[in-house]
Homo-oligomer: A and B are copies of this chain.
Amino acid sequence: MQTIFVLVKCELGKAYDVADGAVQNIDFVSEVHSISGRYDLLMKCCLTDGTDIGRFVNDDIQTLPGVRDTFTMIAFKAFS
């Protein structure tokens, strides 16, 4: 399992629609939060090992209707 966090900026006024769409339509998206700061949403995605992360963000997140910009953080290790 490969975890990534994607910060998402949406078209103006569309953040809540994008959030609803992401959790309902993309299986790999496990959590979506609206947040303070420069971006509108923080999405936690859990990908299968070996997935090309760049292609996932390019093909699945950036093409969601209402998405305007993305910032991708790769999680190397989870502590618990």
Contact = CB atoms under 8 A, between A and B. Distances in A.
Interface of A: 3, 5, 9, 12-16, 19-20, 22-23, 31-38, 40, 42, 52-55, 58-59, 62-63, 67-69, 71-80
A71 B73 CA distance: 11
Given A80-B23, A80-B31, A40 B16 contact: no
Contacts of A62: 12-13, 15
B58 A40 contact: yes
Contacts of A55: 16, 34, 76-77
Given A5-B42, A40-B58, A54-B40, A75 B12 contact: no
A44 B12 CA distance: 19
